[in-house]
Structure formats: structure tokens, C-alpha cells
Structure 1
Amino acid sequence: MLRRVWAPTGQPLVRPVHPRYEWLYIYAFVNPESGESRFWLVPVLNKEVYQGVMAAFAKRVGADQDHHVLVVQDGGGFHVPAVQGHPPGVEAVTLPPYAPELQPAERLWALTDPTVANHCFDTLEDFTQTLAQQCAWLETQPDLLSQHTLFHWWPLLTK
């Protein structure tokens, strides 16, 4: 199968596409002010995975009764906290529907997508490895992430 890709004017190009139906999703967390980030690659989007990722995120950033973290999220149907609520120290705010421009993490996809766009990977594992390397690299680029996610209206923390 062939797919059209961007090319200079007057020079049509096509790329081979191997359609498959295996999926991989990214959970991304970013602090717009500091650029600190965390990425998780998961095979499905559901409430159990969401709860697991939130627990892992809380542990990784040290969220607890004395260290509070605010998570801004979209209204995905799988964004369902466990019965006992979010992990201690994590509070989630859900954005209004159809407002991706308010979500700083939406700007991260412009930094992850080019790594895999218009590439034909032999296996999902190859795809996952390439994307994981990009996400790991992005975690080491706080200035780049702040440039993409720190909106002019974002409330800055006072120390």
C-alpha cells in the first residue's frame, strides 16, 4: 500500500505503508514552568491503565500528603480514578470538552510524532523502541519542553 507524503512542489512522492492494527499510546506529564516531564508508553487506554500510570507518576515525582501535584487532563472516558481516588498528593483538574488548546501536554505530540511519521516499522517492538528513545530524550530536554508548553497565561508558581 502507498501513502502520500509532503514533498517539494511538483515532485510527488509516495511511501510504502503496511497497515496493521496494533496500538501504542503515550501518557505524558509535563511541568510547563520547569520542563520536567515523564512519559509512559502503554498498549491500551482504559481506566485500569490510567490508574496504574497515575500511581506510577505519583511515586516517581514524590507526590504525598506534603508534596501536592496538580494534573491537568482532558475529559477522556478512561480518566477514571480508583474507588479510593487519586494517589495521595495528586489532584486532577479536567478541562472542558473540545479544548485541547488549554492542555500543555497536547503540544508534546509535535515533538514525538516526527520520530515515527512516514516510517514503515517491521514490528510494533521496533516502533515502540524508536518512540521510547524519543520520549527518553525529551525527558532530558526541559528547556525545549517549556518552550512548547509554557503558555503566556499559565499561572507561574511563586517560591
Structure 2
Amino acid sequence: MRYGTRTHSRRRWTRQGHRPACPVKLGYEWGYLYVAICPFTGDMYAMFLSHLDKQCFTYFLQQLQLYLQQKGIDQALLMGDGATAHTAQHWPQQQLLQWQKLPTACPELNPVERFFEELRASTSNKVFADKQHVEDYLADLIRLHQQQPQLISSLTLFPYLSAVPT
């Protein structure tokens, strides 16, 4: 998910005939939030990186693999669109991480997109001084969600998903 200092305006409730006002910051700085979620358990791994490219995605996969190994998980399925940035230079340990490409232009099929929509709703209509403030705010939101795994599951456990017996 791309995040940054540019203000994103969303709908607001106001009195009839009044235009909703929202503070706006001109200019922008961007960063990218990489997230892997297990819809069945509500477990989540997140990382802030500077770019959305193959190098950063490969680094994210390596760190995700270490995280999964520490938790004793021996198999994981990652789902994503076919974006060029969502390809790794070298897949770490093929037995652990499996990749499932989703159809093009169907973000509604990707469970993590529902979580991203929650984050976007929480950051809309807010002004952040710099990228670090956005990251701090998002990190607090992520920690809040990690403390409520049932909330993550309710957002991401789509009916078409089923657990694969091990």
C-alpha cells in the first residue's frame, strides 16, 4: 500500500448546504507498506519500505520467511496481482512460500486489500507533517489490529478461502 503526506479527502457528514472542509498539505513524500496476513488466524506481518520494486519485494519475502520459520510455520500461500513489483528476484525457499497470482484488475479478490482500505479510511482527511509521522500513525494502527486478530479475520477471511490440511 502506498502511503504518504498527501491528504486524501473522503466523504464527511455536514449540514445540508455546507461544503465539507478538510485541511490539505501541498507536496508529498511516499513510502510503501508491505503486509502479509493469515485470514484464518488473524496473524499479520508488516514492513515499511521505501520503494515498490523487485528488490524491496525480495527483501520483504526474505524477512517474512524468517518470521514464519520463527513461528514454526512450514508452508504459506501468498496471493497478489501480477504487478511487476510483485515478483521477486529470487524466491526464498520455494517449499515455504508459494505464490498465487490473482486475475488482473481484481483487487477485491485480494484479502489484504480490505485491510488496506481500513488503513486508508483511518488516514483520510488528516494532515501529516512528514513521512515519519505517517509511518508512526500507521504503525499504531497496525499494532491495534494485531491485538485484535478476530478483527483482521473478519476483514480478510473471504468465503472462497479454505484452509489446506497439513
Q: Is TM (by shorter chain) over 0.5?
A: yes
Moved over 2 A (4+): 2-5, 85-88, 156-159
Alignment of 1:46-61 (within 5 A): 46-61=53-68
Give the whole-Å Cα distance in 1 for the aligned partners of 2:87 and 2:158.
27
Q: 1:86 aligns with which of 87, 92, 109?
A: 92
2: CA distance, partners of 1:25 / 1:100: 17
Shift of 1:25: 1.5
CA RMSD of aligned residues (A): 2.1
Mapping of residues 136-151 of structure 1, within 5 Å: 136-151=143-158
- Answer whether contact 1:115 1:130 (CA < 8 A) is retained: no
Question: Does residue 95 of structure 1 match 2:98?
Answer: no
State how 1:98-113 maps to structure 2 within 5 Å. Answer: 98-113=105-120
Bigger Cα displacement from structure 2, 114-123 vs 8-17? 8-17
Query: Once the two structures are aligned, what percentage of the paired residues are identical?
Result: 23
Tell me: CA distance 1:86–1:96, structure 2 relative to 1, closer, same or farther (3 Å): farther
Q: TM-score, normalised by structure 1?
A: 0.87
How many residue pairs are counted as aligned between the two chains? 155
In structure 2, stretches of 5+ residues that fail to align are 1-6
The residue identity in structure 2 corresponding to 1:33 is: F
Q: What letter matches 1:52 in structure 2?
A: Y
Deviates more, 1:20-29 or 1:51-60: 20-29
